[in-house]
A and B are shown apart, each in its own frame.
Chain A
Amino acid sequence: MKLISHYLESIDGVVIYPIISFLIFVTVFSLITIYTLRLKKSKVKEMKNMPLDDNETDINLINQQL
Chain B
Amino acid sequence: MQIEKFYYDNKIVKYFAYATIFWGLIGMLVGLLAALQLVWPSLSFDFAMTTFGRIRPVHTNAVIFAFVGNGIFMGVYYSLQRLSKARMYSDLLSYIHFWGWQFIIVLAAITLLLGYTTSKEYAELEWPIDILITIIWVVFGWNMFGTIIKRRTGHIYVAIWFYIATFVTVAVLHIVNSFEVPVSFWKSYSLYAGVQDALVQWWYGHNAVAFFLTTPYLGLMYYFLPKAANRPIYSYKLSIIHFWALIFIYIWAGPHHLLYTALPDWIQALGVTFSVMLIAPSWGGMLNGLLTLRGAWDKVREEPVLKFLVVAVTAYGLSTFEGPMMSLKSVNALTHFTDWTIAHVHIGALGWNGFLTFGILYWLIPKMFNIKLHSKKLANVHFWLGTLGILVYAIPLYWGAVTQTLMWKEFTPEGFLKYPNFLETVTQIIPMYHARIFGGVLYLVGVVLMIYNIAKTVKVGNFVADEATEAAAREVVSPKRMKGEGWHRWLERKPIQFMLLSMVAILIGGIIEIVPTYLIKSNIPTIASVKPYTPLELQGRDIYIREGCYTCHSQMIRPFRSETERYGEYSKAGEFVYDHPFLWGSKRTGPDLAREGVQTERNYKPDSWHYNHMLKPQSVSPNSIMPAYPWLIKNKLDISRTKKKIEVMQYLGVPYPEGYGDIANEDLKKQAEKIAANLKAGGIETTSDKEIIALIAYLQRLGTDIYNK
Q: Which residues of A contact B (CB under 8 A)?
A: 1-11, 14-15, 17-22, 24-25, 28-29, 32-33, 35-39, 43-44, 46-52, 54-56, 58-64, 66
Q: How far is the CA of A44 from the CA of B274 in the complex (A)?
A: 29
Question: Of B274, B523, B559, which is within 8 A of A22 by CB?
Answer: B274
Additional A-B contacts beyond A19-B263, A61-B230 (19; CB < 8 A): A3-B559, A6-B261, A8-B258, A14-B259, A17-B513, A18-B263, A21-B509, A22-B271, A32-B240, A32-B244, A36-B240, A36-B488, A38-B486, A47-B157, A50-B157, A51-B223, A59-B367, A64-B299, A66-B372
Contact B373 A63 (CB under 8 A): yes
Contacts of A55 in B (CB 8 A): 469-470
Q: Is the CB of B241 within 8 A of A51?
A: no
In the assembled complex, 22 residue pairs joining A and B whose CB atoms fall closer than 8 Å, in A order, are A1-B332, A4-B258, A7-B520, A7-B573, A8-B258, A15-B259, A17-B512, A17-B515, A18-B263, A21-B508, A36-B240, A47-B155, A48-B236, A51-B82, A51-B226, A51-B227, A58-B367, A60-B228, A61-B230, A63-B373, A63-B376, A64-B299
Complex CA gap A8/B515 in Å reads: 11
Interface centre among A4, A18, A28, A50 (most CB of B within 10 A): A50
B4 smallest CB distance to A (angstroms): 13
How many chain B residues touch A (Cβ–Cβ < 8 Å)? Answer: 82
A60 partner residues in chain B, CB cutoff 8 A:
228, 305, 363, 366-367
- Partner-binding segment picked from B69-77, B246-254, B418-426, B647-655: B246-254
B241 touches A52 (CB 8 A): no
How does the 8 Å CB contact mask read for B270-310 relative to A, with 1 for contact and 0 for none? 11001000000000000000000000000100110100000
Residue of A nearest to B363 (CB): A60
Q: Report if A19-B520 is in contact (Cβ < 8 Å); known contacts: A3-B571, A28-B244, A37-B237.
A: no
Distance of A62 Cα from B558 Cα, bound (Å): 59
Q: Does B701 contact A (CB under 8 A)?
A: no
A43 to B484, CA, bound (A): 12
Which partner residue on chain B sits nearest A33 by CB separation?
Answer: B241
Task: Pick the most buried of B240, B256, B332, B556: most chain A CB atoms within 10 A of its CB.
Answer: B240
Residue pair B489, A43 in contact (C-beta under 8 Å): yes
Is residue B83 within 8 Å, beta carbon to beta carbon, of the partner chain? Answer: yes
Contacts of B271 in A (CB 8 A): 18, 22
Q: In the complex, what distance in Å separates the CA atom of A66 from the CA atom of B366? A: 14
Contact A25 B258 (CB under 8 A): no
Nearest to B485 among chain A residues (CB) is A43
Residue B199, interface by CB 8 Å: yes
A29 touches B244 (CB 8 A): yes
Q: Check if B261 sits within 8 Å of A50, measured CB to CB.
A: no
Q: Which residues of A contact B305 (CB under 8 A)?
A: 60
User: Is B573 touching A4 in the complex (CB atoms < 8 A)?
Assistant: yes
Main secondary structure, interface of A, reads helix
Please pick, from B198, B248, B371, B487, the residue contacting A28 in the complex, using a CB distance under 8 A: B248
A7 B226 Cβ-Cβ under 8 A: no
Give Cα A45–Cα B467 distance, bound, in whole angstroms. 27
Given A1-B257, A59-B371, also A25-B267 (CB < 8 A):
no
Cβ of B370 within 8 Å of any chain A Cβ, yes or no, is yes
Instruction: Report the minimum CB–CB distance from A29 to chain B (whole Å).
Output: 6
Instruction: Given the known inter-chain contacts A4-B195, A39-B486, please indicate yes or no for A18 contacting B256, CB distance below 8 A.
Output: yes
* B249–A8 touching, CB < 8 Å: no
Q: Which of B153, B159, B263, B264 has the most CB of A within 10 A?
A: B263
Identity of the chain A residue whose Cβ is nearest the Cβ of B227 in the assembled complex: A51
B245 proximity list for chain A (CB < 8 A): 29
Chain A, residue nearest B366 (CB): A59
Q: Quick one: closest B residue to A46, CB to CB?
A: B155
Is there an interface contact between A19 and B267, defined as CB atoms closer than 8 Å?
yes
Min Cβ gap A58→B in Å is 7
User: B230: which A residues are within 8 A, CB to CB?
Assistant: 52, 58, 61
Q: Which residue of the partner chain B has the closest CB to A38?
A: B486
Chain B 331-383 interface residues, beta-carbon cutoff 8 Å to A: 332, 363, 366-367, 370-373, 376
Q: How far is the CB of A48 from chain B (nearest CB, A)?
A: 4
Q: Point out the residues of chain B lying under 8 angstroms from A20, CB to CB.
A: 512
- Chain B proximity of A55: nearest CB distance (Å): 6
The CA-CA distance from A8 to B203 in the complex, in Å, is 14
A35 touches B486 (CB 8 A): yes
Q: Tell me, yes or no, whether B233 is within 8 Å of chain A by CB.
A: yes
Q: Roughly how many angstroms separate A37 CA and B236 CA in the complex, as a whole number? A: 11
Task: State whether the Cβ of B329 lies closer than 8 Å to any Cβ in chain A.
Answer: yes
Q: Does B47 contact A (CB under 8 A)?
A: no
The residue from A1, A7, A24, A51 contacting B523, defined by CB atoms under 8 A apart: A7
Q: Within the assembled complex, what's the spacing in Å between the Cα atoms of A10 and B559? A: 19
B659 cross-chain contacts in A, Cβ below 8 A: none
Name the distance in Å between B78's Cβ and chain A's nearest Cβ.
Answer: 11
A36 touches B558 (CB 8 A): no
Nearest A residue to B82 via CB reads: A54
B341 CB to nearest chain A CB (Å):
14
Task: Identify the closest chain B residue to A62 (Cβ).
Answer: B372
Asked whether, in the complex, the Cβ of B237 is within 8 Å of the Cβ of A44, the reply is yes
Q: Does any Cβ of A come within 8 Å of B22's Cβ?
A: no
Q: Is B449 an interface residue (CB 8 A)?
A: no
Q: Are B329 and A2 in contact (CB under 8 A)?
A: yes
